[in-house]
Structure 1
Amino acid sequence: MRPTRIMALAGAALLASAAPAPASAAPAPPPRVTADGADLIVVTAGPGRLSLRLREAGEAPDAAGREPGSVRLGPAGGLTARVPADPDFAFLGAPGTAVWSLSAGGPGFPALDTTGVRPGTVRGDVVTLDLAGVRGPGSFAAYTLSPWGRPTILLDSDGATTTRLPVGRRLGGLAWTFDAPGEYRLTFRVTASAPAGGTLHDEASYLVEVPALAPGEPVVAATAPGTAPATSPAGARALAVQTGTPAAGARTVISAGHVDMGPQLDGGAWRVRLKDDSTSPATWRELADVVLKVTDKAKVAVPSGAGYAFLGAAGSTVYLLPQSQQSGIVWPGWNTQHESVVNGTRGNVTWRLKGVTGPGEFKLFLTGSFGTPEVLFDSAKSLPQQVSIPPNTHAHGNWAFTRAGHYQLAVEMTGTTIAGTPVSDTRTLSVAVGDATDAQAGFGSDDDAAAGGASAGGGLARTGANVLAAAGVGVLLLAAGALVLIVTRRRSPKPGTPS
């Protein structure tokens, strides 16, 4: 069913007969913003009300954001592609159908944020998001992706127009896609029940400009992977610069919550530390004082398909810390957002994996839109390997370990000060994988012991270089056919509720 075309006819005769109004300057068009890394839908709760806003990638995570109707999205930053020949994406239409995604995908996926609604604020800790209206020349739909690139439909102008969202979550990997060029006005309504009775609600409209559809060749799909946790990818975000409290040397085991590894300029010295968001303000800890604990909740089966063969045989077990946050599992990322780095350096930061010791292999990869992953680090291949991180960036990926036990990752981060001085630091990140693995045994000295040491499986660390620019990962994903897409006139699969 096509979206209803709405024409404002009421009062037309009266307007036609009215005397001409004095000439005046046309109102300025709304400013354009990019969807990459943005929280497109931000739901917050206040006294007796809900609020629906849009938060740009450059704003702080707790910023109020903008009124959605005051800005315009597209056409810059999006990408046109064709529906892949993949059964899981058959709801998009016939293979080869041209569609346009608001975001180019890769590490810059937008997100949907309900962290501004605290548990207990609304009944059932759930808010309902409705697609209240679509005005435009074509169809619109939105969905998210699992770590294995499988879609979960949220809203579809030709299908389900309601979805339920848990509070206190940031749901990444969000795609908005359209099947015809032109201007669209999307109206969303968010509602929830107050604990004492009554309904809280808000409504907002978004303006989107879709360019002419000029896709490349049809995408060849990978074999459909198997069951995976119901999580979705989060993208790289450029946020407000961050500060935090330096740790006092207390040893800490972290098994849940959000952490980021990143550099600091400490009195002129370049230091790689771990930002622990379990405290307020956040605490930057020395890597020697931290062990990341990966519990058995992270165990998943490797999906089928050649694209995931780097993780092991289909059906074998790996421990996966997914690209977007999952309850009860530590959520590691990386950032270059400390104010000393933002204000004291120039150019990108280079992150190198120099060595890995442990009973199995370590992999770090990004989720691709059609089940095709983009591998950043793989300890089974020659080391060192490196990625280039733009300044003021916050990103997450999928961290995989193929066997339980203790791992030590020798990581180096290098940069250049504003005075032109090269700076570098190498530290060891300790990870205890599996419930039966004693995390306390993972604490080590504050040095680079794993650098140049044994690689995964006990072999010597391989030499060589495998350079991948993280800033260009989105382009690489697109070249591989990894684009987030959703749009169709056909009936979609049953939508799921994000977990």
Structure 2
Amino acid sequence: MKVKIVSVWNSAKPSMPTPARRRSLGGALAAAGVLVALLGTAAVPVSAAPGVPAPPSRARTVLNDVHTDLLFVDYADGHLGVRTRIGNGDEATFADPADVLVQLFDTDTSRLAVPDLPDYAFLGAPGEPMWMAPEIQDYALVWPGWSTEGVTPGTDVGFQLREVRGPGRVEVFASGPVGEPLRYFSSTDPAYRGREWPAMTHAHANWVFTALGRYTLTFEVTATPPGGTPVSSGPVELTWYVGGTSTADIPAATTSTILAPPPATSAAGTPIALTATVAPDGAAGWVEFLDGDTVLGSEPVAAGAAAFTVTGLTAGEHQLSARFVPTYTTDFTPSAAPAAAHRVIGGTASAPPSSSPSSSAAPSSSAAPSSSPTPSRTASPEATTTRPATSAAAPRTSSCAPTTRTSGVVISAGHADLAARMEGGRLVTRIKDGTGGGAPVWRAPADVVFHLGDAATSTVPVGPFDFLGGQGATVWQVPQTQKPGVPWLGWNTEEAGQSGGPVTWKLTGVDGPGTVAVFEYDAFGQPKIVFNSKDGLPDGLDVPLGTHAHGNWAFTKPGAYRLSFSHTLAGVTTTSVVTFAVGGTDPRSLLPRTTSTGCTDGRLPRTGTALAPLIATGAAMIAAGGVLVAVTYRRRRTT
């Protein structure tokens, strides 16, 4: 039914309505209001609404062989959100952490023994079994990390491990600059329950579990802006399953549901209290209460039980029962309680059974807040080159002064990657600069100088480090784990396309005062060399598409270094030179330079083509034209 309220104004002019027209309009609006009220009343049934069923069960998203940032933090303008990022680059997707299950396969590569090394005694007794999701990507295992790349620069982000439930202990640690363990979180040691990271951090670590089975790790994330107060995410649960070799191996716990016996009879109109218990403890989901096949209502399970009050049952016999509907089929199986007979005495037998409205409805999901974009750092503009004007005339006093400008940027701290990517269908090498906040800036390698100052120095430890000069030698190092005051340089093939890989990455030359090595640490601090200029070049590494990794970049002497690299994909090769200023070397002295001359002679400024010859030529033409006009005029007078 439609209500039309335009007839009053069809003949009206664009002026204020008269009192009569206002009265007519008011009557029409009143009539429309009555109609709308009647329509609204007709839409609501007089009898009680049918029972609200439980939300449907769903399966979790299982992550077992992919890169993921389990805690991806967004914070801007006081709004804090925590999501799980799945995948890399533009292909990444996001999920609610509650909807994700992280599976660590039980394989020869994940199943390790606690080493007989004093620094790793926190993992247990030497030789005891443990299962590890490693800090360095293993493409057959899940690669979990966390990220504050969605946080406003200047904001500190805190991670607190509030609780761990599971069959064993949990330890999270990384490898430091010289291979030492850096403990982050521990389920047993209160000294390692919390840690802060600055904005624009993307980190990975070794996640160790000491027994097979299901674990729940509860974190709280806080964001503290400069001079402000912390904003909390509240509890964020991460669910893990350690074991199996595929998603199908994840078992769902078997549940049982018991309905407390209701009274055998009740008078018509008398409320009937129903209570159901669900085992095991911690089974998450809802209980539906039924009369035969009719859902009377549903309630969430809390502390292993759910209660519901039903009214309005018709006179006669009823079969009351309850069934458990799990939130996640990946976690628990459904179950049902046997029906219990109940008889309602009095009242009428014609009315259908009705129930009190459910006190809890299915929670609606809301999108996590996204971070506001922040301005990204850009390179200084390149100077335009001008040429000084020249003249055949007598020399004048000129104020020409050559000006030299530098372009590009110096990166002394923060996250950056040496990346192979496709631009316009062409393979190129770029520096992915994420140091400025917001969206990263893709730069040509020639426009970037990485500076390794005093904060980058470290001493070579005991062990197999002869390629760095041996024990006690000083090196300047970009570490595998992010360190304040030092660039955190990784390598990246996230933007190199979706097929045709891997990318062959080579170090083909080093121009500098010392040697250069790029290497990774394994879980127990032993070096795995990627490139080493000491024993000859080129050195190569095949990098799968979609990779984002970090390692150690070590320089044995201070000075200026230029490293020549190549990337090859599907037979196409691109080359680049990456510059490092190590130690006391001024990084700005290594930036690209352009020279321009701005010339003035007290009159108009001139750039590009010289103006003096043109002016002289023009003056001569004008004089010649004047002479010709004068001669012609005299001849006409004589004639």
Give TM class, smaller chain.
0.5 to 0.7
What is the CA–CA distance in structure 2 between the aligned matches of 1:193 and 1:424, rounded to whole Å? Answer: 45
Percent identity over paired residues: 34
- C-alpha contact 2:559 2:583 (8 A) present in aligned 1: yes
- C-alpha contact 1:130 1:188 (8 A) present in aligned 2: yes
- C-alpha contact 1:246 1:283 (8 A) present in aligned 2: no
Number of the residue aligned with 1:211: 243
- C-alpha contact 1:291 1:443 (8 A) present in aligned 2: no
What is the CA–CA distance in structure 1 between the aligned matches of 2:457 and 2:519, rounded to whole Å? Answer: 16
Number of the residue aligned with 2:574: 425
Q: Does 1:389 align with 2:543?
A: yes
> After superposition, what is the alpha-carbon deviation per residue over 1:405-436, rounded to whole angstroms, capped at 9, x for unaligned?
122212111112xxxxx211223222221223
Q: Cα offset for 1:189?
A: 2.7
Q: Does 1:308 align with 2:472?
A: no
Q: Does 1:55 align with 2:211?
A: no
Q: Cα offset for 1:294?
A: 2.2
> After superposition, what is the alpha-carbon deviation per residue over 1:83-142, rounded to whole angstroms, capped at 9, x for unaligned?
0010000111111000112x2442355323234443665xxx45351323x332222232
Distance of aligned partners of 1:283 and 1:188 in 2 relative to their CA distance in 1, 3 Å threshold: closer
- C-alpha contact 2:409 2:448 (8 A) present in aligned 1: yes
Number of the residue aligned with 1:164: 195
> What's the RMSD between the two structures over aligned residues?
3.7
- C-alpha contact 1:273 1:287 (8 A) present in aligned 2: yes
Per mean C-alpha deviation after superposition, the further-off stretch among 402-411 and 169-178 is: 169-178
> After superposition, what is the alpha-carbon deviation per residue over 1:343-377, rounded to whole angstroms, capped at 9, x for unaligned?
6x622111111121211100001122111011100
Number of the residue aligned with 2:625: none
Number of the residue aligned with 1:236: none
2:146 aligned partner, one-letter code: L
What is the CA–CA distance in structure 2 between the aligned matches of 1:330 and 1:364, rounded to whole Å? Answer: 14
Task: Give the one of 492, 507, 527 matched to 1:373.
Answer: 527
2:103 aligned partner, one-letter code: G
Q: Cα offset for 1:403?
A: 0.2
Secondary structure in structure 1 of the residue aligned to 2:67: coil
Secondary structure in structure 1 of the residue aligned to 2:541: strand
1:73 aligned partner, one-letter code: V
Number of the residue aligned with 1:17: none
- C-alpha contact 1:35 1:77 (8 A) present in aligned 2: no
Q: Cα offset for 1:32?
A: 0.6
Q: Cα offset for 1:438?
A: 5.6
Q: Does 1:328 align with 2:467?
A: no
What is the CA–CA distance in structure 1 between the aligned matches of 2:444 and 2:75, rounded to whole Å? Answer: 36
What is the CA–CA distance in structure 2 between the aligned matches of 1:271 and 1:197, rounded to whole Å? Answer: 44
Task: Give the one of 138, 142, 145 matched to 2:172.
Answer: 142
Task: Give the one of 562, 565, 577 matched to 1:411.
Answer: 565
Number of the residue aligned with 2:128: 97
What is the CA–CA distance in structure 2 between the aligned matches of 1:259 and 1:128, rounded to whole Å? Answer: 23
Q: Cα offset for 1:197?
A: 5.8
Q: Does 1:351 align with 2:505?
A: yes
> After superposition, what is the alpha-carbon deviation per residue over 1:246-270, rounded to whole angstroms, capped at 9, x for unaligned?
9986732423233322334455554
Secondary structure in structure 2 of the residue aligned to 1:186: strand
Q: Does 1:361 align with 2:515?
A: yes
Secondary structure in structure 2 of the residue aligned to 1:352: strand
Task: Give the one of 95, 99, 104 matched to 1:75.
Answer: 104
- C-alpha contact 1:353 1:377 (8 A) present in aligned 2: yes
Q: Cα offset for 1:168?
A: 1.4
What is the CA–CA distance in structure 2 between the aligned matches of 1:267 and 1:410, rounded to whole Å? Answer: 24
Number of the residue aligned with 1:38: 68
Higher relative contact order (CA 8 A, sep 6+): 1
> After superposition, what is the alpha-carbon deviation per residue over 1:435-464, rounded to whole angstroms, capped at 9, x for unaligned?
23565247599xxxxxxxxxxxxxxxxxxx
Task: Give the one of 475, 492, 497 matched to 1:342.
Answer: 497
- C-alpha contact 1:274 1:286 (8 A) present in aligned 2: yes
Q: Where in structure 2 are the equivalents of 1:240-319 lying within 5 Å?
A: 251-256=407-412, 257-266=414-423, 269-278=426-435, 281-305=439-463, 307-319=464-476
Secondary structure in structure 1 of the residue aligned to 2:455: helix
- C-alpha contact 2:166 2:216 (8 A) present in aligned 1: yes
- C-alpha contact 2:482 2:488 (8 A) present in aligned 1: yes
**TM-score normalized by the length of structure 2:** 0.53
Q: Cα offset for 1:82?
A: 0.3
What is the CA–CA distance in structure 2 between the aligned matches of 1:198 and 1:365, rounded to whole Å? Answer: 38
Q: Does 1:175 align with 2:206?
A: yes
**TM-score normalized by the length of structure 1:** 0.67
Secondary structure in structure 1 of the residue aligned to 2:204: coil
> After superposition, what is the alpha-carbon deviation per residue over 1:190-240, rounded to whole angstroms, capped at 9, x for unaligned?
356786668634112222111279xxxxxxxxxxxxxxxxxxxxxxxxxxx
Number of the residue aligned with 1:18: none
What is the CA–CA distance in structure 2 between the aligned matches of 1:84 and 1:208, rounded to whole Å? Answer: 24
What is the CA–CA distance in structure 2 between the aligned matches of 1:368 and 1:290, rounded to whole Å? Answer: 30
What is the CA–CA distance in structure 2 between the aligned matches of 1:253 and 1:295, rounded to whole Å? Answer: 16
Secondary structure in structure 1 of the residue aligned to 2:534: coil
Q: Cα offset for 1:183?
A: 1.6
Q: Where in structure 2 are the equivalents of 1:436-451 lying within 5 Å?
A: 436-437=585-586, 439-441=588-590, 443=592
Number of the residue aligned with 1:186: 217
1:388 aligned partner, one-letter code: D
What is the CA–CA distance in structure 2 between the aligned matches of 1:146 and 1:89, rounded to whole Å? Answer: 13
What is the CA–CA distance in structure 1 between the aligned matches of 2:125 and 2:184, rounded to whole Å? Answer: 21
Distance of aligned partners of 1:292 and 1:188 in 2 relative to their CA distance in 1, 3 Å threshold: closer
What is the CA–CA distance in structure 1 between the aligned matches of 2:223 and 2:428, rounded to whole Å? Answer: 46
What is the CA–CA distance in structure 2 between the aligned matches of 1:278 and 1:43, rounded to whole Å? Answer: 17
- C-alpha contact 1:112 1:174 (8 A) present in aligned 2: no
What is the CA–CA distance in structure 1 between the aligned matches of 2:424 and 2:80, rounded to whole Å? Answer: 44
